[in-house]
Structures are given as C-alpha cells and as structure tokens.
C-alpha cells in the first residue's frame, strides 16, 4: 500500500456496525416484514417473448376464495396531459416504466409482467395466476443486438425512433429498435491509422450477465385511505423509488414513504422497481398491506441483467507501442425498453490511454429480452474488454511488455479527456508501477498451458446529493443518520469519517439508515458515490459539531470562543484558569454538559459535490487451461487499484475481491442461454454458473492511494472499477496459455475444446 | 374565544396527518409488531401484597417444551460501584427501578413481577407461569397512607429513611415508610389565621385512579449478539426509555434503539417501563426477539395509577372574601417505591390565589400498592380539590358568589408565586370573567336536587429538550422529523407551526415520528410540553429554511441576499429585473430549483426553553342528584381555559373535553377497591367504572387566548390543567344540590344514599 496521510480512525479496521446482525440473522430484510392483515401478491407473466395481448380475463381468478384483487396495466393512472408519447423524439420514460411494471398492449419478453393478484396467502395467489386467462397473438421475437438493428427485424415499439445525440442529426424518421446513437470523437482517426505501423481490427461479443444477488426482489406496500402510501423494500434507492412511485401513481412526494430494509445484494440491479407499484395498487384496491417477493426464476427472467453486446474495435499503433488511433462501434442490448449502459463502455475503452485520434459510436438497441439494469460499472466491462484484448495483442505483436505498452500511453493528471475536460490527480501510472513491482508479476509462470496477462480498467464515479444529520448523546456517543442504504460497508465507512473528524472512535458513532421521511433527499447508493458523498457529509457534520462544542466550552469556561481549540484527538482546550492550570474537556466530558449549556447538539447537512475522483485499476491474471476438459483455472490473481484513501481497508479489499470474482464469472462461466423462442434455458443458480470460492484463487489486492483532492479525506469510489479488468486479463492469459485469442465471452470449456481440436 | 393574533394556518382545523390511519386501523401499535422467530413473554406476579421471597424454582417451567428462558431479578446486572444503597439519604432510583421491574427479596404489592418467561407461543408461556414455584413468607400489608405513616406500620424498605428537603432537616434516623417531606412556606400562617374573620379546616381523601388508556403496555425487544438492543413499544418517552435501558442493563446509549409505535392512550402512565427490560433480558438469553403485552388485569394491578391521598386544609378569610392564610398537610401514596406526585398537589392548592400566608407540607409515603405513575397534571387534581371545596364553602358562608371570591384573590401578572419568582402573563382573571359571562353561568338552574358550582385549576407546564429536523422536497412539500410521540394531536400542531412559519399549508408538511437513532434527544411527551417545545423547534426550523431559501433565490437572481424578502405567504420576492418586472418565486417553484442551486435544504435544531406559560382553567358544573338511587348526573359542564394560542382549536377542545371526562370520573365513579389482603377487587373496565359518553353531557369549552410571550406563537400547554377543576366543581355542585359537602372522593351513589338517609 502506498502511504497516505496519517489518520487515527481512517485506515483502521473496526468491526462493521451491522456485522453481527448480518452474520447472526438479526438484520431485517424485506422478507422479514410481517404486517397485521397482510395479503400476498404474485405476478402473472408472459410465456411469449413477443406477443400482442388481445384480452385479459380475471373473472375465474377473482372467483377463487381468498383472492382479493387482480390488476393489469389499465389500473395504473394514465399519464397527465403532456406526458407520454410525443411526436418529436422518443416517448417519455414514464410510459416505458409503467409498461415494464405491467405490459400494456404487447408482451415484449418472456417473463414480462401481465397481471398481478393479491390473496390471503401465497399459495392461493399462485393458484389464481393459472386462472387468469390471457389471450395472446404471438409475434416473432428478436434476440440478438445485430439482428435487432437490421432493416427486416421485428419492431418492438411502433413509435420508437432512433434518437441521435448532438452533433448527430441524420437519423431515419421511421420506427426502429435503435433507441439512441451517441458518439465520442477526438482528432481524426483516419489520419491516426495512416500514421500507425500496425492497425488491428477485431470483433467481440459478450452475453447478458446477471448481478447474481442472493436476495430476490421484494416489496410490501400499504396504501392508507388518506392516500398515504408506505412501502417496505430492499433497494439501492429509497428516495428515487419514492419519487418514481409519486410520479407513476400520481401521489404527492410527501405522501409516499419508502422504508428501506437491509439489502441482500444489489450491484446495480436493485436500482429498479418491479413489484412495489403492483403491491401499491393491490393495496389500494384491497385496503390491506400487500407483500410480494420474486422467485429465483422471476429474478432471472424478469429483472434487469446487464446488456449483451457487440463491439468492433480498430486500433492503430506505432512499433514502439504508441497508440495513434482508436475506433470503436458498440451496440448494446437495452432489453425491451430503451436505456442500455453503452455510455459506460464508450468512456471505458478510451479513458485509460492518451490516444490522439478517437471515434466511438454507441447504439442503444431494444429487443425481446428483459429491460437491462445497472450492473457494477454499468456497461464498462463489456466495452473495455475489447480495448484490452486488442492492446495486449498489439503488445505481443511488437514484442512489448503488456504493462509497458500501457505505461507508454497512460493518461496522467492534466491530460485531456477524450470527451472533454482534463484529468485531475489519477493513479493510472501508480497502478501500473504497482503491478510491475508486485510479487505476482515478478514471479515466473511454471508449467505448461499456463498464461499471464493484464488489463486496465476505468470508472468515473459519481457525486450527487446526500443529506445526513448527526446528534451528540449525553454519554459522548454520536448518532449518525443516513439516507443511503448500505450495500458494501458504508455504515462503518461513514461513521469512521465522522469519528476521524471528531477525534472519537468508530464504535462511538452509531450509523442509522432511515426512511424517506426522516432525512433529506439522498440519491441512490450506486455509482461508487456513497463513501465519497456520505463521507463528505460526515466530515461537514463533524466540523459543525466541533464548532458548536467549542461554543459550549467557551460558555462553561466563560471565555471567548476563539480562546478555545478543538484538537484532532477530540480534546477541547481552553485558556488557563485563574490558578494557571490548563483547562480541557474530552468530547465525552463536554457531551455530558450539553444539556445544561443549551441542549444537545443536533446538526444536518446536504452535500452535492461534483469533485469526484475517477478510479483506475490494473489487474494481473494467471490461468491454467486443461486441454482435456477445456476447464480454465485462474491460478493467481492480483488487483491493484487507485482507491484514493482506503477508509476501511478490509472493505475496500472486499469490494475489489468481489468485483474480480464477478468479472471472472463474466469471462469464463456466466451466461444467459436463450432458446430461439426467447425463453431463458438456465434460470437457476445451478445452471447460471457463478464462480464460487472453490473456483477462485485468493484474490490478492494492492491498494494504491492517490488521494482525491476533491474530498476532505481524499475518498474515491472503490466498488465498481474492480469488475472491469478481469475480462481482458483472463482472456489475455488464456491467449498466452494456449495461443487462442477468444473474442466471445464467456469462454466456456466447450469453446476451449472447439478451438483446440475442431478448427 | 378571545381574539388573538391573526394567522393563516394557526387557528384553523385541518384533518390530522395520522387521522385516517387511526380510524381505519392502518396505524401501527405495539401489538402490530411481528418479527421473524419471535418468542412471547409473560410475567409471574406475586399473589401477596407483602411477602418475603424465600425461593424461586423455575426448573419445572424450563422443562416444559417450548419454554426458552426464565428470568428473575438476579438476571439484572448489579449496579456499578457507587450506585445503589448509600448510608446517607435515600437509595438511588436505580435499585428501586430494577426492583419494580422484578422483585428482589420482597414482593411489595399484589401483582409485583417476580419472574418472567419466554416461550414459542403465548399459551405455553402462560402455562409455564404456573410451573414456576415461588416460596413466600407472607407479611401483613399496609394499604392506607395514614396507617403507613404510623409508628407501628409494617415497614416496606428496611433501608428507607425519611428525606427532608431543605430547609427541613429534623427527620428521624430510622427506617420509615415516609420517603420525603417537602414544604412551601410564605409569610406566617398563624398571623394570617389571626387576621381572618372565618377559619375553616377540613380533611379530604381521594382514592387511587387509573389513567384508563385503552392499549395495554407492550414491549418487544431484540438483543443482538453484538450487544445492540432494539426495542419496539408504545410509550410517551422513547429517549428516556433508551437512557433507562442503557443504565439498568449497562449498555452504552448508542447501543440501544427504541422504536416508538403509535400509543393507544397514555395520560402519564406510559412514561414508565415495565415489560421492556424483561423482554430485553429474555431476548439476551434466547437470542430471539421477545414480545410481551399485558392483560387488562395486569395493567390495573401492576402499573402505576395516581396516588391515593389524604389532605387536611385550613383556610382563613375575611368577611369580604379576602384570603389571609392557607395551611395544608398532604400525604400522598407513592405505592411500593418512593416518588409520588405530591409536589403537583402542593403547588396546585396555592397557585391560583394571592394568599399572603401559606404553609404546605407534603409527604411522599410508600405502602403495599403498585408504584404510582404520572396521571395528567400529576398530583394536582387531588391536591387542588380540597382548596376549591373550602373556598366554595367559605363563599357560601359569607354569601359571596363563588367566581367573585376567586376574582378577589386571583393571581395576576407580576404577582409573587408562593414558591418564589413572579407570574408572567397568565389568564386567571380572563378565565373567571369568561366563566361569569358564559351562557352557562348566566342561565338559571331549573328543578329540584340540582346544584351548580365552580372550581379553578392550575398546571405549570414544562419546556425541556426537543430536537427536530426538516427537509424540503423538490415538489415544495416539507418533511418534519419529530422525536416526541404523538399522544394528542402533536403531529398537526407542530406541522401547522412549521407551515405558518413557511407560508405553506399544513397538508404540505409531513410530520414523521422517528426512533431514538434518527433524531437528537427529545424529552418525554408529557408535562404539556410537546406543542410548546416542538412548536418552537418547528418555528426555528422554518426560520432557518426561510433564510436558506432567500440565499437560493439570490443565487438564481444573481443579486444580494438582502435584496430578497420572504413574505409570510410563502412567496419569495427579488429586485426588479432589467425590464423592470417584479421577480418572485413561490415556495413550491423555488423548491423545484434547489437541486441545481446547491442541493436540497435539510435543517435541524435543538430547543431547551424554560419560558413555558403556566395554564389556568375555570370550570362550571351543574349536577342533578337522584335521591332514590343516589346517582349523580352531570347535566351541564363548561370549561374555560387560558390556552395561550390555540394552534388547532379542535384538538385543544378535545384535550379539554377528555380532561373533564377523566376529572368527573375521579369525582364520581372511578375507584380502586382493595380487600384487606391488598388485592384489587375491580380490575376490569366493567368494574372500574370510567364515565362513558352516555354518562356525560356535551362538555362546552371556552378557549381563552392569553398568548405566552415566551413562545413565538404564544403557545401554552393545554392538555393537563383541564383535569384539575372537575373534582371541586362536581363536589361543590352536589353540595349546592343536596346540602352535603362530601370530603371523600369518589362520591358514589351509596355515599349519597348514606349521607341522605343513614346519618
């Protein structure tokens, strides 16, 4: 670890505040909600990937004893005047959002929700689903992103027109599956390719990948007769959910309360709502609380994985490794409704390198699969992998070390970013140097069929709004009120930053995540923003508490406030007393005197900073390929990452290890298998194969600390960039091991066997 | 209603925010808590009023399948060094508190908790109680306050010595049932009696009265293996409960979270804990959440009613009605442990009148009944009733109107209070004038056996600590975060004060009561402090939001902040624009621009004000006595009260009507019947007879508004003083009707019959 500023609490490894609850089962998740008089809801889903819904008849279901209500899309309030389909540009998200909650006229993917039922128990609700008659006119589905873009493809939305972002404006004025086309452009790629000694062009694909959280989606809603809706759920964005529910159900925001429970994994997938609006409407109809949870099959078939992608990349380089041009064409599956993370891939492929000439075209494409969702550094793993693959291939062609070629082209502070603006202090070179100097990279590979490669990843991170408050208890403990849910250790990370500021211990701070009524607006827990923005809030809360503590001490000592100092160890010093003795109070001592000096201290702040520090990560993978079975074993893995300041190193390491595991899954084992009818063939965790602890080596981590100057404690987001490099590193290592450069992920044993023997 | 300052929101009658939930059953009370894996606890109670506990054997109970734990007093942690019994003065409350949770060596009243059990269902827990063998040595109980003070009374606590407050210091150094003796003294009563034309001395008693809330006490506790205790309950004081649990269970405050549910009535009785510490210990032993609720019998026999009392009062007056001296001796039952509200009675009897010579002695006495609790204006009804009775008798003797004698002696702003300090603006004279001018007092009584009388009540009200926060939503609605539970309409009362300050509507403010982690310390909801202190907090939150809104508008208009004004109707005005047009934004419009001008507004405050306005109330009662059955019918009742500013007049009127109903119950029907063995004979709502709507006339209210200058909106507490006058007014009206001046309350039909025919 590169040494950073000395802190007392930051950089230590206290037990997380929610740790014991989570390992002993006391933590309350969405499934732990039980309300008096509760009903249970289930969803009727389309068995077809593409079909017109001609009729829905719920009369038989409603006649089943115990069934209390059935809803369809028609039960959603219609959009207010001026919202919805317009003649110019794309339809508003409002309509698409509601159509994904419950299909309107067409079912657009297998598993698309068509109706929902509430009953007195879950078994009756399940039985009722079979009694809802839906008459379909089945249409041919389109399941591949390139086919969906072709002229003769089945069209999902009659009123969707390609939206070009400026400066492009030459889109055809006819309905299309292409929802948007965006571009990054710098210099002149044709000139760049002309200057190159080597020009390499390759095509790549990745499949859809699911985030693979353990806890299925859940939501319980209770719509009061005064119109106040309360929702309990496990999500990454209670305030955003509140606003969305307010919008689609047409209730004022202060009449919606979202109460977040613990979340059993999200990784971006729990930024999206599926059940809550249905539970809300069922509750409105029945006057009872309605609880809904998904099965695993529903999670796979009906929630958002990340995009399947097609990427064509062309890179020009001189013989000394200098990159002269990079051109990429990226087509990302959005699923049934617009909105893929193609932008993440577009930024990712160009970010790490000072390529003078750049042209990236990105396409957002709808097709008959579930609407994609965010998944850890959304869109970037699939977009950056092709860049790593091509650069590693060029390095091998010119006989240059794979780290050296990256060092030669690496971006540094002050360099221009391909999409505008300049880089601040970033740790690309520091990560590459840490890789070079690592025991792993210095070690020699032993044995046959073994290979080693590297990759370099980027993620921009996010700032956005965070509100938080804190109060000092009479015993010197401090309550910290948070509005962002904890998906990866944010409770300790934020409590530690407040403790550092106050000069007390992490254990003396009790972080509490509250509902949307109880603290100001907080944007989602995503974009690696929580430790950054929440930490900044904790710092400002701490500084305000220090200021008020100084005022209290001045009152006790009957001196001026500027005669009192608050030292970083949490001791408040005053002027010497009449006998010449030092006057001082510890934080705890002064806390005990707050009541008699005007009351306890209770402060709140709102933070909205854009000075996020981007993250870079460099990974090294060793693999061994079994030529008999095609199995690829990752034998050693080292992840370096510029983490800004590691607030709680164990959780930073844990984030990195988790991201690597998921990235390796994308490279080797995870895959949505679709039949030609658009039905997923492997919607269980037995068949959708995520790496387990037995499949992975111990992931070694090297924390590089280049503090973000845009944060009081130098924090950069750490949770996302770590999922980016594994795809390129593993694919590259397989190439080194057996000489086959695969272009389609995942690389399954059958692919290895096919490549080694059948071609 | 006397006209007060003009407001837009204050003084209107919006529907309360929690109203629909409470009438439709959606509101969540303690009994609505269901946790995964929950156990159920029950309490084994003493069948004896006074007994030494020789042995507790739980082995048979523990052998019953489904029983998970049994606890006794020995399971409480022992007090830390230096806390507990001391040689000087009384033992610390710590020990008494724990001994009331579970008896230590002696059971001190019938129903005293002796052991508690947790089992997988409540029926098994119930069965297990019978299997816990407790060996008692039964002692004679003492059940009357005067007997308990006598030399040969059974002594409850061997180590309790009478504590005299300064300036008294002549207490005997031997164990006693008298826990404390306090005094109010002004002038020289002997001189005052010598100056009087009439001296009247009378003795009075009142029985114990229960608050009669509908919802029994309940508490669910979950003690995590990390030592963090979470408690769900219905109480009036979540933060105080947190601190008490922290103290008696020896856990740091930040490791205890109390989550308040709605409360189905409290009236002071839910300021005390009974079940929560037991549920906590049972949860600690079992590792599971444990839920406990009381039966009605347990509520009566084992929770705190108000004190039975004995009061002797002697008043001297001149023939023109001028009071010259008042002497009172007050002995209040504390129940089994020290701490009666005798102080409330002592203040109450002397407060309303400018009596130059005053001597009040109060005694706090333990005896073999449940520990008393607060009950609406604690101690004052029983203490002020004797004063009213004697003054009414004097008025009748000298042929003076009962209101005029009070006007002659009434305290006014600037007068000295008997216990020191001076009265601020108070509404005694205004209430008396309102009574005189009321249609009720001007009407003539018709028919025989009818009488009318009046009484005057005082309650001091409380300030104390309140923390609160508020945030502005993008749609212009405002969330208001409260830490005080709502027992009588505080949600609308506080939301309205914030709305008034901001110039928005009450409905646009959403008040939310949160747990002890989620806002700073709030003292109890009691002492009529919530509308006062919470309202002050709401005002300061509003003023801070106004200030920040002005700054945002200045940023939008690119002008100085002092060029922007926030008008009371919630419109923000700026300087004219370059075309000379007025610039203005509504609160809602500006709220929508907060995000782009730096983020939403989220503010918090802590209030700790002592400038409470005391409350006075004057009541008029008409009764008709049925000479055949002894039944007393209250035929008309008018309550005037100085309410400061009536924030929500309907809830002020409701508070007054509720207080009157309870006071009439004390006067006529409510009573704890004890057998000689110390067993309560009437522990059901059939036999403990509270007045119902059928027993009462419509209570007429006259709101007198003398704004409290110590509050931005002139608020005085309104909830308590209204219970004080009914006792004296009803007793006096009976005296006028049948010529019998009863001195012992309640005045039951049999007492009327006895008085009319047997004497």
Please write the tens of the pLDDT for every residue from A505-537: 999 999 999 999 999 999 999 989 999 999 999
Q: Which residues of A touch B518 (CB under 8 A)?
A: 479, 481, 512, 514, 518-519
What CATH class does A33-141+217-293 carry?
alpha beta
The DSSP element (H or E) to which B181 belongs, if any, is strand B178-186
Two tokens at B499?
């709305």
Domain residue ranges of chain A, discontinuous segments joined by +: 19-26+463-608, 33-141+217-293, 305-461+612-756
Task: List, in order, residues 6 or more apart from A448 with CB less than 8 Å away.
Answer: none
Averaged pLDDT for residues A432-454: 97
pLDDT band at B82 (very low <50, low <70, confident <90, very high): low
Alpha helix (H) ranges present in B399-438? 402-409, 428-436
CB contact under 8 A, B602 and A520: yes
CB contact under 8 A, B24 and A475: no
Q: Is the pTM of this model over 0.90?
A: no
Q: Which of B730, B702, B516 is nearest to B622 (CA)?
A: B730
What's the pLDDT score for residue A89?
39
CB contact under 8 A, B20 and A226: yes
State ipTM. 0.79
Q: In terms of CA atoms, which chain B residue is nearest residue A513?
A: B518
| Chain B nearest C-alpha distance from A529 (Å) | 15
Phi–psi pair at A498, nearest 5 degrees:
-70, -45
Q: Which residues pair with A618 in a beta bridge?
A: A456, A640
Looking up tokens 């906590």, which residue turns up? B280
Of A26, A253, A257, the CB nearest to B475: A253
Pairing mode, strands B478-482 and B509-513: parallel
Please write the tens of the pLDDT for every residue from A332-352: 999 999 999 999 999 999 999
CB contact under 8 A, A473 and B225: no
| Chain B nearest C-alpha distance from A112 (Å) | 32
Of B15, B20, B508, the CB nearest to A224: B20
Q: Which residues pair with A46 in a beta bridge?
A: none
Please write the tens of the pLDDT for every residue from B420-469: 999 999 999 999 999 999 999 999 998 999 999 999 999 999 999 999 99
Q: What does the alpha-carbon distance between residue B44 and residue B115 come to, in Å, rounded to a whole number?
A: 5
CB contact under 8 A, B608 and A601: no
Cis peptide before B167 (omega within 30 of 0): yes
CB contact under 8 A, A518 and B479: yes
Q: In terms of CA atoms, which chain A residue is nearest residue B520?
A: A471
pLDDT band at B6 (very low <50, low <70, confident <90, very high): confident
CB contact under 8 A, A255 and B510: yes
CB contact under 8 A, A481 and B21: no
Percent of chain A with pLDDT over 70: 96
Q: Collapsing DSSP states into helix, strand and coil, what is residue A677?
A: coil
The order of strands in the sheet holding A478-482 is A509-513, A478-482, A465-472, A602-608
The order of strands in the sheet holding A565-566 is A565-566, A571-574, A583-586
Residues A628 and A443: beta-carbon distance below 8 Å: no
Q: Which of B641, B631, B627, B651 is nearest to B694 (CA)?
A: B631
| Chain B nearest C-alpha distance from A263 (Å) | 16
Q: What does the alpha-carbon distance between residue A743 and residue A751 come to, in Å, rounded to a whole number?
A: 11
Q: What does the alpha-carbon distance between residue A351 and residue A379 come to, in Å, rounded to a whole number?
A: 14
Of A15, A224, A598, the CB nearest to B608: A598
Q: What does the alpha-carbon distance between residue B515 and residue B482 come to, in Å, rounded to a whole number?
A: 9
Two tokens at B713?
């909106």
Task: List, in order, residues 6 or more apart from A238 with CB less than 8 Å away.
Answer: A258, A259, A260, A483, A485, A515, A516, A522
**How many other CB atoms are found less than 10 A from the CB of residue B166?**
7
**Total count of residues recorded for chain B:** 759
pLDDT at A757 over 60: yes
Q: Which residues of A touch B225 (CB under 8 A)?
A: 20, 24, 26
Q: What does the alpha-carbon distance between residue A710 and residue A645 come to, in Å, rounded to a whole number?
A: 12
Q: What does the alpha-carbon distance between residue B464 and residue A558 come to, in Å, rounded to a whole number?
A: 24
CB contact under 8 A, B32 and A36: yes
Please write the tens of the pLDDT for every residue from A85-101: 443 433 456 789 999 99
pLDDT band at B170 (very low <50, low <70, confident <90, very high): low
Q: Which residues of B touch A287 (CB under 8 A)?
A: 24
Residues A461 and A614: beta-carbon distance below 8 Å: yes
Percent of chain B with pLDDT over 90: 91
Sort residue A503 into left (φ over 0), alpha (ψ -120 to 50) or beta. Answer: left
CB contact under 8 A, B517 and A600: no
Q: What does the alpha-carbon distance between residue B699 and residue B715 come to, in Å, rounded to a whole number?
A: 23
CB contact under 8 A, B519 and A467: no
Please write the tens of the pLDDT for every residue from A445-466: 989 999 999 999 999 999 999 9
Please write the tens of the pLDDT for every residue from B509-520: 999 999 999 999
Averaged pLDDT for residues A73-79: 92
Give me the torsion for CA of A223, A227, A230, A231, rounded to 10°: 60
Q: Which residues of A touch B15 (CB under 8 A)?
A: 226
**How many other CB atoms are found less than 10 A from the CB of residue A14?**
16
Pairing mode, strands B133-138 and B51-57: antiparallel
Q: What does the alpha-carbon distance between residue B180 and residue B299 come to, in Å, rounded to a whole number?
A: 27
Q: Which residues of A touch B37 (CB under 8 A)?
A: 25
Please write the tens of the pLDDT for every residue from B183-230: 999 999 999 999 999 999 999 999 999 999 999 999 999 999 999 999
| Chain A nearest C-alpha distance from B122 (Å) | 17
pLDDT at A253 over 90: no
Measured CA angle at A487 (ends A481, A489), to 5 deg: 70
Q: In terms of CA atoms, which chain A residue is nearest residue B15?
A: A226
Q: What does the alpha-carbon distance between residue B549 and residue B565 come to, in Å, rounded to a whole number?
A: 10
Residues B482 and B537: beta-carbon distance below 8 Å: no
Q: Answer yes or no: CATH 3.30.365.10 is held by domain A305-461+612-756.
A: yes
CB contact under 8 A, B254 and A598: no
Q: Which residues of A touch B469 (CB under 8 A)?
A: 469, 519, 602, 604
Please write the tens of the pLDDT for every residue from B24-66: 989 999 999 999 899 999 999 999 999 999 999 999 999 999 9
Three-class SS of B13-29: CCCCCCHHHHHHCCCCE
Q: Which residues of A touch B516 (CB under 8 A)?
A: 479
Q: What does the alpha-carbon distance between residue A228 and residue B194 come to, in Å, rounded to a whole number?
A: 68
CB contact under 8 A, A510 and B254: yes
Two tokens at B157?
């606590």
Query: Average pLDDT over chain B, rounded to whole?
Result: 94
CATH code given to domain B19-26+463-608: 3.30.365.10
Residues A149 and A178: beta-carbon distance below 8 Å: yes
Three-class SS of A144-188: CHHHHHCCCCCCCCCCCECEECCCCCCCCCCECCEEEEEEEEECC
Q: Which residues of B touch A244 (CB under 8 A)?
A: none
The sign of the torsion formed by the CA atoms of B322, B324, B329, B333 equals positive
pLDDT at B678 over 60: yes
CB contact under 8 A, B598 and A608: yes
Q: What does the alpha-carbon distance between residue B33 and residue B485 come to, in Å, rounded to a whole number?
A: 17
Task: List, in order, residues 6 or more apart from B442 with CB less than 8 Å away.
Answer: none
Cis peptide before A167 (omega within 30 of 0): yes
Q: Which residues of A touch B606 (CB under 8 A)?
A: 471, 598-602
CB contact under 8 A, A253 and B473: yes
Phi–psi pair at A81, nearest 5 degrees:
-45, 135
User: One fold for both A33-141+217-293 and A305-461+612-756?
Assistant: no
Query: Average pLDDT over chain A, rounded to whole?
Result: 94
Averaged pLDDT for residues A610-628: 96
Please write the tens of the pLDDT for every residue from A471-481: 999 889 999 99
């Amino acid at each position: 670890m590169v040494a950073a500023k000395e802190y007392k609490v930051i950089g230590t490894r206290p037990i997380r505040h929610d740790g014991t609850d989570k390992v002993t089962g006391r933590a309350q998740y969405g499934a732990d909600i039980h309300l008096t008089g509760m009903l249970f809801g289930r969803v009727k889903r389309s068995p077809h990937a593409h079909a017109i819904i001609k009729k829905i008849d719920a009369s038989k279901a409603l006649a089943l004893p115990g069934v209390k209500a059935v809803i369809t899309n028609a039960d959603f309030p219609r959009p207010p005047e001026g919202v919805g389909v317009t003649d110019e540009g794309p339809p508003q998200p409002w309509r698409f959002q509601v159509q994904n909650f419950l299909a309107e006229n067409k079912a657009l993917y297998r598993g698309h929700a068509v109706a929902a039922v509430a009953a007195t128990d879950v078994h009756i609700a399940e039985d009722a689903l079979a009694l809802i008659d839906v008459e379909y006119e089945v249409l041919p589905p389109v399941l591949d992103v390139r086919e969906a873009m072709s002229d003769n493809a089945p069209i999902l939305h009659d009123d969707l027109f390609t939206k070009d972002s400026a400066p492009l404006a030459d889109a055809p004025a006819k309905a299309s599956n292409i929802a948007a086309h965006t571009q990054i452009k710098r210099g002149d790629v044709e000139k760049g390719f002309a200057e190159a000694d080597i020009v390499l062009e390759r095509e790549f694909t990745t499949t859809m990948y699911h985030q693979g959280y353990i806890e299925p989606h859940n939501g319980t809603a209770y719509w009061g007769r005064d119109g106040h809706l309360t929702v309990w759920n496990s999500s990454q964005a209670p305030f955003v959910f509140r606003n969305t529910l307010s919008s689609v159900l047409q209730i004022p925001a202060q009449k919606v309360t979202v109460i977040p429970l613990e979340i059993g994994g999200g990784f971006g997938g729990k930024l999206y709502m599926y059940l809550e609006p249905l539970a809300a409407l069922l509750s409105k109809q029945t006057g009872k609380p309605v609880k809904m949870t998904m099965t695993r099959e529903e999670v796979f078939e009906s929630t958002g994985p990340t995009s399947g992608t097609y990427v064509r990349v062309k890179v020009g380089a001189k013989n000394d490794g200098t990159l002269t041009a990079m051109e990429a064409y990226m087509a990302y599956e959005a699923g049934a409704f617009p909105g893929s993370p193609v932008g993440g891939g577009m930024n990712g492929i160009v970010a790490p390198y000072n390529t003078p000439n750049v042209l990236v075209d990105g396409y957002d494409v709808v097709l008959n699969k579930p609407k994609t969702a965010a998944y850890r550094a959304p869109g970037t793993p699939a977009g950056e992998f092709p860049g790593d693959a091509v650069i590693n291939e060029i390095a091998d062609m010119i006989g240059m070390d794979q780290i050296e070629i990256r060092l030669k082209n690496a971006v540094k502070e002050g360099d221009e970013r391909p999409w505008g603006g300049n880089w601040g202090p970033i740790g690309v070179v520091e990560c590459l140097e840490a890789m070079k100097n690592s025991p792993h990279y210095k070690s020699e590979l032993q044995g046959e069929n073994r290979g080693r490669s590297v990759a370099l990843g980027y993620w921009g991170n996010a700032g956005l709004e965070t509100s938080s408050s804190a109060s000092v208890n009479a015993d010197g403990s401090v309550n910290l009120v948070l509005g962002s849910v904890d998906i990866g250790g944010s409770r300790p990370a934020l409590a530690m930053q407040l403790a550092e500021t106050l000069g007390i211990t992490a254990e003396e701070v009790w972080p509490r995540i509250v509902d949307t009524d109880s603290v100001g607006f907080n944007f989602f827990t995503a974009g690696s923003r929580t430790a950054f923005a929440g930490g900044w809030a904790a710092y400002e809360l701490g500084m305000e508490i220090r200021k008020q503590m100084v005022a209290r001490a001045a009152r006790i000592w009957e001196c001026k406030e500027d005669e009192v100092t608050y030292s970083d160890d949490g001791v408040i010093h005053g002027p010497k007393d009449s006998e010449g003795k030092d006057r001082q109070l510890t934080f705890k001592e002064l806390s005990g005197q707050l009541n008699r000096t005007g009351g306890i201290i209770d402060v709140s702040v709102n933070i909205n900073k854009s000075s996020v520090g981007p993250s870079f990560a460099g990974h090294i993978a060793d693999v061994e390929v079994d030529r008999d079975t095609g199995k690829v074993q990752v034998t050693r893995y080292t992840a370096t990452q510029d983490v800004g300041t590691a607030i709680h190193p164990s959780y930073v390491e844990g984030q990195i290890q988790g991201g690597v595991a998921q990235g390796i899954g994308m490279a080797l084992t995870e895959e949505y298998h679709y039949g030609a009818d658009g039905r997923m063939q492997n919607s269980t965790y037995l068949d959708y194969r995520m790496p387990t602890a037995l499949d992975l080596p111990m992931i070694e981590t090297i924390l590089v600390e280049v503090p973000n100057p845009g944060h009081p404690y130098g924090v950069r987001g750490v949770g996302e960039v770590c999922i980016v490099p594994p795809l390129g590193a593993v694919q590259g290592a397989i190439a080194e091991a057996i000489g086959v450069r695969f272009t389609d992920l995942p690389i399954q044993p059958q692919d290895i066997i096919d490549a080694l023997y059948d071609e």
